[in-house]
Amino acid sequence: MSLVRRTVLSVAVWRLARRGAGVLFLAAAVFVASGAPLAAQAVSSVPHAGYVYPGGGRRGTTFQVVVGGQHLKEVNRAFISGGGIQTKVLRWYRPMTAGEYNALNMKIREKQEELEKSQGKGKVTREMAIQAAGITDEQLREMAIYEKRQADRKRQPNPQIEEELTVQIQIAPDAAVGDRELRLLAPTAMSRPLCFWVGQWAETREQEPNDTTPHPAVQVELPVVINGQIMPGDVDRFAFQAKKGTRLVAHCAARELIPYLADAVPGWFQAVLHLYDEQGEELAFADSLGFRHDPVLYYEVPKDGTYVLEVHDSIYRGREDFTYRISLGEIPYITGLFPLGGRVGTGCNVQLVGWNLPVESLHMEPSFYLGRMFRPVFVEKDNIVSNRVGFMVDVLPETVEKPESNDTPETAQRVRPPIVINGRIERPGDVDFFQFESSGMIVAEVFARRLYSPLDSVVRLTDGRGRVLAYNDDYEDKSWPLITHHADSRLLTHVKGAYFLSLKDAQGRGGPDFAYRLYIRPPRPDFDLRVVPSSVTAQPGACVPITVYAMRKDGFDDDIALALEGAPPGFALGGA
């Protein structure tokens, strides 16, 4: 949690009003003593950053971006996490408001009426009145911009992204590739973060008009990153040359840049990609990649020639914050891996699936990543880095499913809890059976969709006579807010003796991509915390309310204590 001095504070819960629920919230407050070492002036409106365009840049380059938002006039600094990047705020701009436009129009009309009293009605032109009223060329330009914007019936005005802040960004040649956080800093306030990407290929920006024919000024030489914005009803097209045999990948990052748009339905920019040949015939289409919302398109080029890539919103919405970054070329891209995780401290070989990968497998020594159970996996060769995919780590014993002999209860694979089973639903209609003995409470949980496997799991617990004792299809894990298709399974039940656990796909599908991690273990009572808002701004003597959400796991039923960690003198946390 960051305050005016941008001090990083960790928050834990002070006291919860009641126990036993899966998700609870606490209203708390951060107090800043009047003697705390903060700026003495009153806190102005907190800057809001709604989008940044372009949403990234190539390492080793210097360029300008525009941050759209609100309350940006006092911003004097931009900060990008991760190191290797320098920023400089260049200028602020806000379009003319309706009130300002009407005031200038009234001033011109009043001056025209005043002049007509002495020179005669009809003898004074609007241009003469403008000059006599002292209207500047800049004001006239802003009035023309206002009139053009008002005449655009498709435009969707949003005051939260009307202001523009131009920022110069310089990325060091050795800056790490990947996503960063961009924040805007004012003397007494700080914005929430935006995603900003450091890339490794040449970059270009779209130029309008390019709805029907690619703009000739946009030179696309593979590999390249294309930056653009989609306006209402907009379609962007880009032409490029490709040689026979090119294994073309087009990855459009849209939701990766801005996961949610609060006033959009659906609540994000759903990009769609089309690939055409010179005759306009569609060769490939993508609106997602499995259950990743951003589209990824793959096409093996059959002959030398000119090809056209098209991008638009799935239902042709658009606005300034519908930004995208398309990585295009024969680039390495991981689409899946197996197993989906491993045991901490135990080496394992991970099979990779994807396009243009320099290796087919990786040897890993699993370890926790920043204290978390999920770590990124990628491949790198000749300083070229692939996309990142998730890999789960744990301390429990692990095994691999035996697909050739576990399709029935009679041939069920015997396992001993606690255990993590890495497996696949190999083919349509496949069912995996496991037999175990245990006593007491037991958790059976599938991690598949949360690791972007297409598996829609169903688990059943049966006894030796085949009676179904417990069943689960869809389990919603509230600690994964970006998952919109909750399709993993979870059981928490009491057992005593020998049991069978079966796992299958709810739609009867299957294949090599339908991987899973099945946990059979005793409960591990625990909790996750989420703090809203992610940052607060305060002045000396102020009290700032926050909300802390507690997501209880495996029956955790104790009180949870909240504290500020690393807070400077003068900061305190009030109770629930």
Contacts of 226 by beta carbon, 8 Å cutoff, 6+ apart: 203, 204, 205, 206, 218, 220, 238, 309, 325, 326, 328
For residues 572 and 37, is the Cβ–Cβ distance under 8 A? Answer: no
Type of residue found at 48 = H
Residues 72 and 191 placed together within one structural domain of the fold: yes
What is the C-alpha to C-alpha distance for residues 357 and 486, in angstroms, rounded to an integer?
A: 30
Token pair of 460 as six digits: 């059943």
Provide the whole-model pTM.
0.86
Rama region for 196: left / alpha / beta (φ>0; ψ in -120 to 50; rest)? beta
Residues 340 and 315 placed together within one structural domain of the fold: no
pLDDT of residue 186: 93
Residues 29 and 128 placed together within one structural domain of the fold: no
pLDDT of residue 370: 76
User: Is residue 156 a part of any domain in this protein?
Assistant: no
pLDDT of residue 9: 39
Q: Which of 279, 308, 331 is the last residue of a domain?
A: 331
What is the C-alpha to C-alpha distance for residues 49 and 77, in angstroms, rounded to an integer?
A: 13
What is the C-alpha to C-alpha distance for residues 392 and 382, in angstroms, rounded to an integer?
A: 27
pLDDT of residue 43: 45
Q: Which of 119, 151, 183 is the last residue of a domain?
A: 151
Of 95, 83, 193, 91, which is closest to residue 141 (Cα–Cα)? 95
Residues 364 and 481 placed together within one structural domain of the fold: no
Residues 304 and 259 placed together within one structural domain of the fold: yes
pLDDT of residue 499: 96
Q: How many domains does the chain have?
A: 6
pLDDT of residue 434: 97
Q: How many CB atoms lie under 10 A from the CB of residue 105?
A: 12
User: Is residue 507 a part of any domain in this protein?
Assistant: yes
Residues 390 and 411 placed together within one structural domain of the fold: no
Of 356, 342, 428, 353, which is closest to residue 391 (Cα–Cα)? 342
What is the C-alpha to C-alpha distance for residues 158 and 41, in angstroms, rounded to an integer?
A: 30
User: Is residue 292 a part of any domain in this protein?
Assistant: yes
pLDDT of residue 35: 52
User: Is residue 572 a part of any domain in this protein?
Assistant: yes
User: Is residue 532 a part of any domain in this protein?
Assistant: no
User: Is residue 136 a part of any domain in this protein?
Assistant: yes
DSSP codes joined into one string, 377-431: E--EETTEE---EEEEEESS-EEE--TTS-SSGGGPEE--SSEEEEEE--STT-E
Residues 211 and 343 placed together within one structural domain of the fold: no
Helix (H, G, I), strand (E, B) or coil at 69: strand
Q: Domain with 409 in it: what CATH number? A: 2.60.120.380
Residues 410 and 492 placed together within one structural domain of the fold: yes
Q: Domain with 78 in it: what CATH number? A: 2.60.40.10
- DSSP structure class, residue 232: T
Residues 129 and 15 placed together within one structural domain of the fold: no
pLDDT of residue 29: 59
pLDDT digits (tens), the chain, 576 positions:
333 333 333 443 333 333 333 444 445 556 656 554 444 334 458 899 999 999 999 999 999 999 999 999 999 999 999 999 999 999 999 999 899 999 999 999 999 999 998 898 888 999 999 999 999 999 999 999 999 888 887 777 888 999 999 999 999 999 999 999 999 999 888 899 999 999 999 999 999 999 999 988 787 889 999 999 999 999 999 999 999 999 999 999 999 999 999 888 888 999 999 999 999 999 999 999 888 889 999 999 999 999 999 999 999 999 999 999 999 999 999 999 999 999 999 999 999 999 999 999 999 999 988 778 889 999 998 889 999 999 999 999 999 998 778 999 999 999 999 999 999 999 999 999 999 999 999 999 999 999 989 999 999 999 989 999 999 999 988 888 777 778 999 999 999 999 999 999 999 999 999 999 999 999 999 998 888 887 777 777 788 888 888 889 998 999 988 888 877 788 888 765
Residues 390 and 515 placed together within one structural domain of the fold: no
Rama region for 17: left / alpha / beta (φ>0; ψ in -120 to 50; rest)? alpha
User: Is residue 157 a part of any domain in this protein?
Assistant: no
Residues 358 and 448 placed together within one structural domain of the fold: no
Q: Which of 151, 170, 186 is the last residue of a domain?
A: 151
Tell me which H or E stretch contains 102. Answer: helix 98-119
Type of residue found at 142 = E
What is the C-alpha to C-alpha distance for residues 420 and 517, in angstroms, rounded to an integer?
A: 6
Structural domain of 263? 202-331
Residues 280 and 416 placed together within one structural domain of the fold: no
What is the widest separation between alpha-carbon atoms in the chain?
A: 106
Type of residue found at 195 = C
